[in-house]
């Protein structure tokens, strides 16, 4: 059903088996998610995310949601093809006509999305790519006759633009441009919005390479009584040349084609939002035609390649090689380079995305830390949301007070410093959001720590406010008393991280204090938050511990367990108990659930997380972001097999059942797969199809630093692998601080058994350029040098 190509492309050979499966492309100004059937969700920045093709009804403006539903009038990019000799009609890629093709390949490439479809003795090849610097979709369609006879065809573009505006919308065909231009005015009521909307790209244009034989710009007339499966427009001899005058517009153009036997027809289209017709002319000049399309495609490929990251692996796991070498860095690059296309990314997301970018483009990563730190309050608090544009405002979740942002600053900065050794950054002086006073990054962090420590109750546990990492856990502490076990542990973890960095900076006194306080927090957590066999999740405003054995729903949460391991709070016995309980209660064939059992009714002392549909998102799905924390924590414990168990389930495998259940191609990690495994086994495993997730930065970090164990440190490269035991030999190429390491691993016997959660130091011997090394650190690394590193694990 799916196939990997050598260049990393992944193809799917059915439009029906995994109907929501798709892929996405982006540039700095836009993003488009295309599913295999032709439905599309696209947005661009002006500066806030906006759409240029809408649904048929007024749409709410919201952030990208999981399990996005598709329906027949959903925005999409389609072509109808009619054989004029027998009046047979089909559409590509698949919808709206949905006739079973003879052959179907949806091919997700890193810099293009393609379909190859055989139907009615025609071979249709559709390609979508993006320009690097403009908001526009570049389409190419090739039709090749396979009947061996001359053909008379009609090709119809059908790019619906939907309900653009209740104030003003219309559409016409422009003869000079060969384009349908759908105009509108963004609806508003406040006078200030009139001025704010001035430079909006309110029109949507579909430009064709060749003049259309005819056109229709009215959606209703195009469809007629036949509907989208049998549109009247397509079954008439010619489209009606109708002008939309406030009716819902559409971009349907007809092209009469005469194909001689076995010959090929090619045409290009540009679909884009524009401010004025002049912009359409410019787009046409720049991108229309085969040569221009090819050039833009090559430039876009270069852009995507610039994000290829710092590691290539050749392991015994072909699927993992594909993902780690091609798709994982791509997804991390998307997060780190365009910030999920938002102007006010959540602070923790922004910082974790910057962490992932440390392995791809350290300069961008550094700049993100600088931007974030410059928006810290003088009190030490980090804001909810980092503003990336002077016109940006805090929206949605960023209007809700969350208590955890400071810990991410420290956790993510550590990864950046590991990778780059850019300790000079710590001396850089930066201002605050609410003060022009400039202090060093190191002092900014000290303030962040002081702030975190000030936000604790008498017991020494961290207040949760209206949420911590878990956004919708909004009612545990809204009265000002509730605390978060997870945040208390994450604080101890962050303090331990900063203790090491403080030592490095010769701040011995601070380091000693941090050690004391971290210990103290761990002690408090053990005293108040250990439920007997695992850590609970927090204590509500009313003093009720939750995530405890007596809870019938939300009995255990993954995050406190992961961070107890990371913070060093759990002793050997507690660790054993955690491993056992997590496995018993949270593990599923599709990955690790974030909590279990899922809530089925509102708990007013916990919040809206309990109102989410059981098994979705934070209410007990396999929330990959939470799962990767657990994997990271296991890797820190030296448990390569345990971690691999979690990590390897984040991707759909080649197994057909697994693919069908997940319904997603292995070209990105979704934010979740449905959980509630024991409550709702029939839908468990289904992908959210949402590719915005903090998981990928951590996944990349896990692979580089922990699984392969090629982690940067002040002296150089620390080699400390935690390979899964079934990887007996493996090669990797690691770019590190300007040098290249060709690493070959040999694992002589399987490491400790999967259940042992071994912390025993493995016996690792290193050979660099043929010479055995006395220690696990490679120092004196020369930029530009090539090293051969052999790692023997006994």
Counting contacts by CB under 6 A, is residue 397 touching ligand CEZ?
A: yes
> How many residues lie near ligand CEZ (CB under 6 A)?
13
Q: How far is the CB of 643 from ligand CEZ (least distance, A)?
A: 21
Q: How far is the CB of 694 from ligand CEZ (least distance, A)?
A: 6
**Looking at 122-130, 155-163, 345-353, 532-540, which segment touches ligand CEZ (CB under 6 A)?**
345-353
**Cβ(562)–Cβ(636) below 8 Å:** no
Sequence-distant (≥ 6) Cβ neighbours of residue 30 within 8 angstroms: 42, 43, 44, 45, 130, 135, 341
Q: How far is the CB of 780 from ligand CEZ (least distance, A)?
A: 40
Counting contacts by CB under 6 A, is residue 471 touching ligand CEZ?
A: yes
Q: Which residues in 144-160 are b (16+ Cβ under 10 Å) and which e?
A: bbeeeeebebbbbbbbb
Q: How far is the CB of 405 from ligand CEZ (least distance, A)?
A: 10
**Cβ(615)–Cβ(679) below 8 Å:** yes
Counting contacts by CB under 6 A, is residue 661 touching ligand CEZ?
A: no
Q: How far is the CB of 546 from ligand CEZ (least distance, A)?
A: 16
> Which of 202, 471, 531, 551 is labelled catalytic?
471
**Looking at 134-142, 464-472, 549-557, 774-782, which segment touches ligand CEZ (CB under 6 A)?**
464-472
Side-chain half-sphere of 521: how many Cα atoms within 13 Å?
32
Q: Cβ closer to ligand CEZ: 10 or 412?
A: 412
Q: How far is the CB of 685 from ligand CEZ (least distance, A)?
A: 18
Q: Cβ closer to ligand CEZ: 317 or 384?
A: 384
Q: Cβ closer to ligand CEZ: 207 or 606?
A: 606
Query: x-or-dash pattern for ligand CEZ, window 668-697, by CB under 6 A?
Result: ---x--------------------x-----
Q: How far is the CB of 693 from ligand CEZ (least distance, A)?
A: 7
Counting contacts by CB under 6 A, is residue 403 touching ligand CEZ?
A: no
**Looking at 342-350, 538-546, 559-567, 677-685, which segment touches ligand CEZ (CB under 6 A)?**
342-350
- CA 264 – CA 123 distance, rounded (Å): 9
Counting contacts by CB under 6 A, is residue 494 touching ligand CEZ?
A: no
**Looking at 280-288, 380-388, 469-477, 648-656, which segment touches ligand CEZ (CB under 6 A)?**
469-477
Q: How far is the CB of 146 from ligand CEZ (least distance, A)?
A: 44
261 exposed, middle or buried (CB, 10 Å; 0-12, 13-18, 19+)? exposed
Q: How far is the CB of 38 from ligand CEZ (least distance, A)?
A: 24
Sequence-distant (≥ 6) Cβ neighbours of residue 76 within 8 angstroms: 37, 38, 39, 40, 95, 96, 159, 160
Q: Cβ closer to ligand CEZ: 325 or 621?
A: 621
Q: Cβ closer to ligand CEZ: 199 or 601?
A: 601
**Cβ(81)–Cβ(155) below 8 Å:** yes
Could you give the C-alpha distances from 93 to 1, 24, 141, 153, in angstroms and in order? 17, 16, 11, 17
Strands of 179-184's sheet, edge to edge? 2-4, 10-12, 103-108, 113-119, 122-129, 137-145, 264-274, 203-208, 179-184, 169-174, 244-245
Q: Taking Cα atoms as reference points, which of 190, 236, 242 lies closest to residue 80?
A: 236
**Cβ(601)–Cβ(672) below 8 Å:** no
Q: Where does 197-239 show beta strands of DSSP type E?
A: 203-208, 214-218
Q: How far is the CB of 472 from ligand CEZ (least distance, A)?
A: 4
Backbone angles phi, psi at 29, to 5 degrees: -115, -10
**Cβ(108)–Cβ(665) below 8 Å:** yes
706: left (phi over 0), alpha (psi -120 to 50) or beta: alpha
Other beta carbons within 10 Å of 612: 16
Q: Cβ closer to ligand CEZ: 217 or 349?
A: 349
Q: How far is the CB of 398 from ligand CEZ (least distance, A)?
A: 10
Helix (H) or strand (E) holding 222: helix 219-223
- CA 671 – CA 688 distance, rounded (Å): 7
Side-chain half-sphere of 329: how many Cα atoms within 13 Å?
22
Counting contacts by CB under 6 A, is residue 469 touching ligand CEZ?
A: yes
Q: Cβ closer to ligand CEZ: 173 or 623?
A: 623
- CA 708 – CA 600 distance, rounded (Å): 41
Among 618, 636, 641, 705, binds ligand CEZ (CB under 6 A): 618
Counting contacts by CB under 6 A, is residue 466 touching ligand CEZ?
A: no
Question: In the chain, what are the helix, strand and coil shares in percent, each to the nearest 5?
Answer: 30, 25, 45
Q: How far is the CB of 688 from ligand CEZ (least distance, A)?
A: 8
**Looking at 147-155, 190-198, 431-439, 467-475, which segment touches ligand CEZ (CB under 6 A)?**
467-475
Q: Cβ closer to ligand CEZ: 52 or 408?
A: 408
**Cβ(493)–Cβ(448) below 8 Å:** no
Counting contacts by CB under 6 A, is residue 405 touching ligand CEZ?
A: no
Identify residues 62-91 at the interface with ligand CEZ (CB under 6 A): 63
Q: Taking Cα atoms as reference points, which of 759, 754, 675, 688 lies closest to residue 720?
A: 759
315 exposed, middle or buried (CB, 10 Å; 0-12, 13-18, 19+)? buried
Q: Cβ closer to ligand CEZ: 134 or 618?
A: 618
Counting contacts by CB under 6 A, is residue 331 touching ligand CEZ?
A: no
Q: Cβ closer to ligand CEZ: 201 or 348?
A: 348
* 471 tagged catalytic: yes
- CA 428 – CA 422 distance, rounded (Å): 11
**Looking at 267-275, 465-473, 496-504, 642-650, which segment touches ligand CEZ (CB under 6 A)?**
465-473
Counting contacts by CB under 6 A, is residue 339 touching ligand CEZ?
A: no
Counting contacts by CB under 6 A, is residue 617 touching ligand CEZ?
A: yes
- Hey, is 151 helix, strand or coil? strand
User: Which residue's CB comes closest to ligand CEZ?
Assistant: 471
Q: Cβ closer to ligand CEZ: 112 or 686?
A: 686
Backbone angles phi, psi at 746, to 5 degrees: -135, 125
Counting contacts by CB under 6 A, is residue 624 touching ligand CEZ?
A: no
Q: How far is the CB of 634 from ligand CEZ (least distance, A)?
A: 20
312 exposed, middle or buried (CB, 10 Å; 0-12, 13-18, 19+)? middle
- CA 462 – CA 465 distance, rounded (Å): 9
Query: x-or-dash pattern for ligand CEZ, window 21-60, by CB under 6 A?
Result: ----------------------------------------
Sequence-distant (≥ 6) Cβ neighbours of residue 550 within 8 angstroms: none
Strands of 777-779's sheet, edge to edge? 710-713, 716-719, 777-779
Q: Cβ closer to ligand CEZ: 31 or 311?
A: 31
Counting contacts by CB under 6 A, is residue 616 touching ligand CEZ?
A: no
Q: Cβ closer to ligand CEZ: 134 or 337?
A: 337
Counting contacts by CB under 6 A, is residue 633 touching ligand CEZ?
A: no
Among 8, 96, 242, 472, binds ligand CEZ (CB under 6 A): 472
Query: x-or-dash pattern for ligand CEZ, window 346-365, by CB under 6 A?
Result: x-xx----------------
Q: Taking Cα atoms as reference points, which of 543, 340, 648 lies closest to residue 348?
A: 340
**Cβ(611)–Cβ(602) below 8 Å:** yes
**Looking at 202-210, 282-290, 466-474, 629-637, which segment touches ligand CEZ (CB under 6 A)?**
466-474
2 exposed, middle or buried (CB, 10 Å; 0-12, 13-18, 19+)? buried
Q: Which residues bind ligand CEZ (CB under 6 A)?
A: 63, 346, 348-349, 397, 469-472, 617-618, 671, 692
Instruction: Just list the catalytic residues.
Output: 471
């Amino acid at each position: 059903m799916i196939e990997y190509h050598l260049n990393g492309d992944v193809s799917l050979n059915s439009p029906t088996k995994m109907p929501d499966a798709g892929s996405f492309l982006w540039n700095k100004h836009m993003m488009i998610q295309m599913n295999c059937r032709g439905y599309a969700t696209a947005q661009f920045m002006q500066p806030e995310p906006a759409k240029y093709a809408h649904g048929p009804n007024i749409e709410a403006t919201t952030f990208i949601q999981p399990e996005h539903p598709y329906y027949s009038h959903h925005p999409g990019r389609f072509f109808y093809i009619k054989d004029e000799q027998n009046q047979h009609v089909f559409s590509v890629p698949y919808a709206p006509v949905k006739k079973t093709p003879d052959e179907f390949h949806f091919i997700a490439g890193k810099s293009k999305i393609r379909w190859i479809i055989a139907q009615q003795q025609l071979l249709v090849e559709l390609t979508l790519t993006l320009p690097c610097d403009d908001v526009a979709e570049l389409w190419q369609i090739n039709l090749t006759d396979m009947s061996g006879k001359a053909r008379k065809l009609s090709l119809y573009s059908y790019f619906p633009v939907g309900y653009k505006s209740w104030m003003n919308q219309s559409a016409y065909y422009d003869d000079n441009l060969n384009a349908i231009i759908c105009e509108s005015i963004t609806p508003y009521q406040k006078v200030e919005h009139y001025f704010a909307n001035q430079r909006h790209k309110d029109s949507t244009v579909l430009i064709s390479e060749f003049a259309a034989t005819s056109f229709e710009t009215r959606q209703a007339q195009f469809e007629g009584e036949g509907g989208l499966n049998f549109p009247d427009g397509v079954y008439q001899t010619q489209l009606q040349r109708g002008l939309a005058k406030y009716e819902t517009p559409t971009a349907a153009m007809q092209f009469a084609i005469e194909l001689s036997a076995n010959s090929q027809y090619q045409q290009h289209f540009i679909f884009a939002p524009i401010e004025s017709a002049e912009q359409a002319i410019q787009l046409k000049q720049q991108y229309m035609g085969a040569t221009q399309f090819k050039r833009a495609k090559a430039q876009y490929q270069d852009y995507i390649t610039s994000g290829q990251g710092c590691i290539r692996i050749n392991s015994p796991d072909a699927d993992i090689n594909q993902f780690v070498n091609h798709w994982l860095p791509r997804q991390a690059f998307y997060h780190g380079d365009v910030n999920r296309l938002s102007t006010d990314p959540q602070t923790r997301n922004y910082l974790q995305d910057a962490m992932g970018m440390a392995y791809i483009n350290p300069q961008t990563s550094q700049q993100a830390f600088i931007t974030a730190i410059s928006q810290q309050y003088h009190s030490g608090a980090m804001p909810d949301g980092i503003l990336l544009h002077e016109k940006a405002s805090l929206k949605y979740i960023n209007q809700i007070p969350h208590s955890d942002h400071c810990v991410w600053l420290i956790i993510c900065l550590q990864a950046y410093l590991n990778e780059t050794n850019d300790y000079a950054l710590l001396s850089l002086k930066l201002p605050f959001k609410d003060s022009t006073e400039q202090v060093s990054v190191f002092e900014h962090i000290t303030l962040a720590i002081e702030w975190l420590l000030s936000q604790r109750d008498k017991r020494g546990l961290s207040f949760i406010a209206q949420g911590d990492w878990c956004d919708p856990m909004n009612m545990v502490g809204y009265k000002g008393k509730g605390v978060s076990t997870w945040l208390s542990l994450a604080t101890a973890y962050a303090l331990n991280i900063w203790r090491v960095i403080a030592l490095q900076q010769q701040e011995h006194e601070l380091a000693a204090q941090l050690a004391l306080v971290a210990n103290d927090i761990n002690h408090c957590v053990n005293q108040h938050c250990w439920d007997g066999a695992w850590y609970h999740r927090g204590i509500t405003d009313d003093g009720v511990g939750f995530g405890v054995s007596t809870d019938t729903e939300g009995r255990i949460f993954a995050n406190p367990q992961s961070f107890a391991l990371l913070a060093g709070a759990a002793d050997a016995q507690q660790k054993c108990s955690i491993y056992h309980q997590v496995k018993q209660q949270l593990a599923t064939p599709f990955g690790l659930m974030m909590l279990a059992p899922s809530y089925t009714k509102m708990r007013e002392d916990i919040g809206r997380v309990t109102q989410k549909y059981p098994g979705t998102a934070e209410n007990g799905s396999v929330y990959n972001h939470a799962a990767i924390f657990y994997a990271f924590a296991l890797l820190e414990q030296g448990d390569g097999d345990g971690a691999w168990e979690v990590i390897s389930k984040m991707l759909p495998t080649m197994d057909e059942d697994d693919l069908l259940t997940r319904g997603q191609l292995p070209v990105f990690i979704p934010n979740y797969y449905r959980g509630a495994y024991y409550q709702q086994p029939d839908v468990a495993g289904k992908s959210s199809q949402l590719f915005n997730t903090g998981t990928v930065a951590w996944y990349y970090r896990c692979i580089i630093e922990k699984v392969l164990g090629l982690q940067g440190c002040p002296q150089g490269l620390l080699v400390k692998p935690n390979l899964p035991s079934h990887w007996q030999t493996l090669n990797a190429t690691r770019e590190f601080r300007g040098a290249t390491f060709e690493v070959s691993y040999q694992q002589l016997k399987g490491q400790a058994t999967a259940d042992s959660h071994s912390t025993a130091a493995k016996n690792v011997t290193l050979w660099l350029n043929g010479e055995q090394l006395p220690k696990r650190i490679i120092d004196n690394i020369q930029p530009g040098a090539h090293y051969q590193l052999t790692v023997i694990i006994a």
